[in-house]
Structure 1
Amino acid sequence: MFRKTAGEVLVELLIEWGVDHIYGMPGDSINSLIEPLRKAKDKIRFIQVRHEEAGALAAASYAKLTGKLGVCMAIAGPGAIHLLNGLYDAKLDHAPVLAITGQVESDLLGLDYFQEVNLERLFDDVSVYNQRIMSAEQLPAVVNQAIRTAYAKKGVAVLTIPDDIPKFEVAPEARKTNSLIVYPEITPQKQDLEKAKAVLEQAKKPVILAGKGAKHARDSLLSFAEQIAAPIVLSLPGKGVIPDDHPFCLGGLGLIGTRPSFDAMKEADTLIMVGTSFPFTGFLPDGAKTIQIDTDATQVGKRHLVDVGVVGDAKKSLDWLTEHITKKTDRSFLEKMQNEKEVWLKIISHEESEESLPLKPQRVIQALRQVTTDDAVLSVDVGNVTVWVARHFHMTNQQMIISGWLATLGCGLPGAIAGKIAYPKRQVFAICGDGGFAMTMADFVTAVKYGLPIIVVVLNNSKIAMIKFEQEVMGNIEYGTDLTNPNFAQYAQACGGIGIRVEKAEDLQPAFEQAVSLKKPCIIDVVVDADEAPMPAQITFGQMAGYAKHMLKEIFEGKKPDLPF
């Protein structure tokens, strides 16, 4: 009687769980898994990446975008080690990811064999499930448990598979388990909702801070805001929860935020945090009554003092409060903040229309907005580029993915690859600085190889510009921030894609229009001003003092300082 090998069973289980592609690089300790993947290529695709880090970042991005399991694969030793950065990105942003790694053969473990690394110890901190497969019979149940745990705990599951195991046949007596995940419905307790209601009834200047945990509750959030006459401020991961141009939306908060959001928090007497564990508590109001709504009880009061905690689904919680709270008739605070927003939009509109050379990065984001469809996917890298997109890209129904809590450079391109695989009919953009793009740029070839018509926008200022600014605000002279870049447009062409170099304002919009019309992998290499500082909406005395020290040092060393104020 024909029996399936453990490698074949693994691939069948992945397909049963709905996995239709895997990111990875073939190699000796996983070749016994690559063969069954080859045989099943009509049902599950193997996406060969040029660096395992890019594969793990792509898997994490896919999970963030879709809620489905992202899967990546690597050999033992160096390949597995390369996965770590992308897996930590998934861990910190609570994305379900499965990492499958090879290992030396079972009888060689513990002998300091070629490429042997203690992978269970290596992955212990990053994972919610971490197991070495010990036998072919054990594999089916462990695979199901790993995937079930990744979904249930929204984190990383790691399976380490010695090279001999996938070749063994799975005996009929192997443990049988389900490829099934069920989700709880988290209903808030009425007594907590009543406490929140009592606080809200007394509120004069309420402000809502919404995060990604409110993304499924847009209509409920807006109805609630209307009921209590509260403006809505968004965390960076929460950008897109409501449209940026909605009358209730004041924009982001913190160093990448807007002036009206800063002022609203400064004046607020009541703060309602919905689906966010906002870390930069210095931007939250002092002394305001605070209500926090979250599905995870461990997040309530974790970073900021709260008066009322509501553990439950955002939609259910907000719907109950909207129904039971008296509608506010005094809308003066809301209207004041809306007027401030109009002034702010005029200020940033002036920045976006600036056509001086080198081009302002804000101008590039404005040009991007003109060609972006309502359902586009934006994969945003880390650095100054995050500031420009957060402030100047006015989202409607687009999806944006970022490396939120890890903030790792290089996430933009892998995220765009994952976005195009997830949604092949949508526009997909990677918006990167030159520093971030250069970290993973080898995988632009991956987009070309698999015919993924992504558009990579590189803000090229030959600087690690955010670090330059941070050093200057500390009062130091910038050091170690200069970059020597290739012509990224020529690089795109060398890879077999489309490359467009933009150095003048009149070439900017035509470049974007050409890129979206060609429907091929494309890099738009835009030369931008390295001295355009990502100034916060409100400049502190400490920042001014630090920058003054920086200017004095530049003068004493015979350099002419660049003034961002």
Structure 2
Amino acid sequence: MFKQKAGEKLIELLIEWGVDHIYGMPGDSINSIIEPLRKAQDKIKFIQVRHEEAGALAAAAYAKLTGKIGVCTAIAGPGAIHLLNGLYDAKLDKAPVLALTGQVESDLIGSDAFQEINLERMFDDVAVYNQRIMSAEQLPTVVNQAIRTAYAKKGVAVLTIPDDIPRFEIGSEARETSSIIVKQDVFPHREDLEKAKDLIGKAESPVILAGRGTHEMREELLAFAEKIAAPIVLTLPGKGAIPDEHPYCLGGLGLIGTKPAYEAMQEADTLIMIGTSYPFTGFLPDHAKTIHIDIDPAQIGKRYPVDAGLAGEAKTTIQWFLENVGRSEHRQFLEQSQERMKRWWSQLDTQEAKESLPIKPQRVIRALQHVAADNAVLSVDVGNVTVWMARHFRMTNQQFVISSWLATLGCGLPGALAGKIAYPDKQVFAVCGDGGFAMTMADFITAVKYNLPLVVVLFNNHKIGMIKFEQEVMGNAEFGTDLTNPNFARYADICGGVGYRVEKEEELLPAFESAVRQNKPCIIDVIVDANEAPMPAKITLGQATGYAKHMVKELFQEGKLDLPPL
């Protein structure tokens, strides 16, 4: 009687869970997994990346974009180590990811064998589930448990698989478990709802701070804002929850935010935080009554004192308020905030229209806005580009993916790879600085290899730009931030893609219009002004409650600066 090998069962289970692709690099300690994966390529694709970090970042981005588990694989030792950055990105942004790592053969474990490291210890902090496969019979149960836990806890599951085990046949004593996801509805206690309802009823200047947890509830969020006359401020992961130019939207908050959002927070008497555990509390109101809605009770009151905590799903909780809260007649604060936002957009329009040489980064965002489809995927890297995109790109129905909590450089291109695999019929852009792109640029070849016609928008200022301004804000001399870059457009051509080098204003929009018509991966290498400050500059978390808050007050409150210099 035919007995299935453990490696074959592993791939079969992944397919049962709906996994249709895996990011990774083949190698000696996972070849016993790669072979059954090769045989199942009609059902589950292997995406060969050029660096395991890019594979893990792509898996994390795929999970953020789709809600489905992202899967990556690597060999023991160096390959597994390379996964860590992307896995920590998934952990901090609460994205379900499965990492399959090789290990030396079972009888060599503990002998200081070639490429042997203690993987269980190494992955212990990053993973919500972390196990070494001990036998072929154990594998099916543990695989199901790993994926189930990654979904349930919205985190990283790691399976370390000694190289010999996938080759063993599974005996009849192996236990059978189920490859299913079981969901639950989480709803706050009635007494907490009533307390929050009472606070909302007394509010005259309420503000909603909407995070990533509000992305699937646009209609409810806007209806709630209209009913209680509250403008909506968006966290960075919350960007896109509602259209940026919607009358109720005040844009982002803090060091990448808008002046109207800052002013609204200063004047608010009631703050309603929905689906966010916002870390930069120095930008939140000093004396407002606060309501915090989050599906995870551990997040409520974690960073900022609250008067009413509601542990439940944001959408169903807001639906309760829509049915039980009366329409507010205090609408002066909302209307004042809306007028401020109209002036802010007008100022941004002026800034984006200003022609100069070198090209201003804001002009690049305007060109991207001109060609980006309503349903485009925008994978944004970390750095000054984060500021320009957060502040200037007007989201409608696009998807915005970024490394928000880890804020790791190099996430832009892997996120775009994942975006194009997830949504092959959509426009996909990687919006990167030269520093971030150079960290993972080898995987532009991956886009070429798998015919993924994404567009890399590259802000090239030959600087680690955000660090330059951080140093200057601290009163230090700029040091160690200069970059020596290649011609990235020529690099695209050499890789088999299409490159555009943009150094003049008149070249900018034609390059964008041509790139989105191509059926190949493209790089638009734009030389931008290195001295254009992303004001207010990024400050560390510790400084955000002190110096950064003081700086923003000085710039915004005292009228010294409405916007970054024109």
TM-score range for the pair, normalised by the shorter chain length: over 0.9
Distance (Å, rounded) in 2 between the aligned partners of 1:507 and 1:400: 26
Say whether residues 1:446 and 2:446 are aligned partners.
Answer: yes
Aligned to 1:30: 30
| Higher mean C-alpha deviation, range 529-538 or range 253-262 | 529-538
Moved over 3 A (4+): 537-547
Alignment of 1:159-308 (within 5 A): 159-308=159-308
Alignment check: 8 A CA contact 1:473 1:544 kept: no
Distance (Å, rounded) in 2 between the aligned partners of 1:378 and 1:81: 28
Deviation of 1:181 after TM superposition, in Å, equals 1.2
Deviation of 1:564 after TM superposition, in Å, equals 5.7
When residues 144 and 398 of structure 1 are mapped into structure 2, their CA distance, relative to the original with a 3 A threshold, is same
SS of 2:329's partner is coil
Alignment check: 8 A CA contact 1:432 1:457 kept: yes
Alignment check: 8 A CA contact 2:283 2:549 kept: no
Aligned to 2:108: 108
Amino acid at match of 1:341: M
Distance (Å, rounded) in 2 between the aligned partners of 1:80 and 1:185: 36
SS of 1:83's partner is helix
Alignment check: 8 A CA contact 1:52 1:82 kept: yes
Distance (Å, rounded) in 2 between the aligned partners of 1:217 and 1:88: 27
TM-score when normalising by structure 1: 0.96
Deviations 1:112-161 (A, max 9, x none): 00000000000000000000000000000000000000000000000000
Distance (Å, rounded) in 2 between the aligned partners of 1:32 and 1:131: 18
SS of 1:50's partner is coil
Distance (Å, rounded) in 2 between the aligned partners of 1:371 and 1:377: 12
Distance (Å, rounded) in 2 between the aligned partners of 1:301 and 1:528: 42
Aligned to 1:551: none
Aligned to 1:508: 508
Alignment check: 8 A CA contact 1:91 1:126 kept: yes
Aligned to 1:555: none
Identity %: 72
Distance (Å, rounded) in 1 between the aligned partners of 2:97 and 2:91: 9
Alignment check: 8 A CA contact 2:205 2:330 kept: no
Distance (Å, rounded) in 1 between the aligned partners of 2:357 and 2:414: 30
Distance (Å, rounded) in 2 between the aligned partners of 1:230 and 1:282: 21
Amino acid at match of 1:333: F
Alignment of 1:68-87 (within 5 A): 68-87=68-87
Aligned to 1:378: 378
Amino acid at match of 2:308: V
Uncovered stretches (5+) of structure 2, i.e. residues with no partner:
553-563
Amino acid at match of 1:313: E
Aligned to 1:409: 409
Aligned to 1:341: 341
Aligned to 2:14: 14
Deviation of 1:528 after TM superposition, in Å, equals 0.1
Aligned to 2:519: 519
When residues 86 and 163 of structure 1 are mapped into structure 2, their CA distance, relative to the original with a 3 A threshold, is same
Deviation of 1:542 after TM superposition, in Å, equals 5.1
SS of 1:395's partner is coil
Deviation of 1:519 after TM superposition, in Å, equals 2.3
Distance (Å, rounded) in 2 between the aligned partners of 1:166 and 1:155: 25
SS of 2:250's partner is strand
Alignment check: 8 A CA contact 1:474 1:543 kept: no
Deviation of 1:326 after TM superposition, in Å, equals 1.8
Deviations 1:352-409 (A, max 9, x none): 1111010000100010000011110000000000000000100000000000100000
Aligned to 2:57: 57
Deviations 1:409-435 (A, max 9, x none): 000000000000000000000000000
Say whether residues 1:319 and 2:322 are aligned partners.
Answer: no
Amino acid at match of 1:385: V
Amino acid at match of 1:408: T
Alignment check: 8 A CA contact 2:466 2:537 kept: no
| Higher mean C-alpha deviation, range 427-436 or range 317-326 | 317-326
SS of 1:290's partner is strand
Aligned to 1:421: 421
SS of 2:378's partner is strand
SS of 1:216's partner is coil
Aligned to 2:455: 455
Deviation of 1:171 after TM superposition, in Å, equals 1.0
Amino acid at match of 1:461: N
Amino acid at match of 2:353: S
Deviation of 1:546 after TM superposition, in Å, equals 9.3
Alignment of 1:100-179 (within 5 A): 100-179=100-179
Deviations 1:211-256 (A, max 9, x none): 0111111111111111110000000000001000100000000100
Aligned to 1:557: none
Amino acid at match of 1:457: V
Distance (Å, rounded) in 1 between the aligned partners of 2:548 and 2:65: 36
Distance (Å, rounded) in 1 between the aligned partners of 2:537 and 2:335: 20
Amino acid at match of 2:123: F
Amino acid at match of 2:7: G
When residues 48 and 308 of structure 1 are mapped into structure 2, their CA distance, relative to the original with a 3 A threshold, is same
Amino acid at match of 2:273: M
The two structures, once aligned, show a CA RMSD in angstroms of 1.7
Distance (Å, rounded) in 1 between the aligned partners of 2:103 and 2:95: 25
Aligned length: 550
Deviation of 1:538 after TM superposition, in Å, equals 12
SS of 1:375's partner is coil
Distance (Å, rounded) in 1 between the aligned partners of 2:137 and 2:315: 43
Deviation of 1:536 after TM superposition, in Å, equals 2.2
Amino acid at match of 2:104: V
Deviation of 1:342 after TM superposition, in Å, equals 0.8
Distance (Å, rounded) in 1 between the aligned partners of 2:357 and 2:342: 28
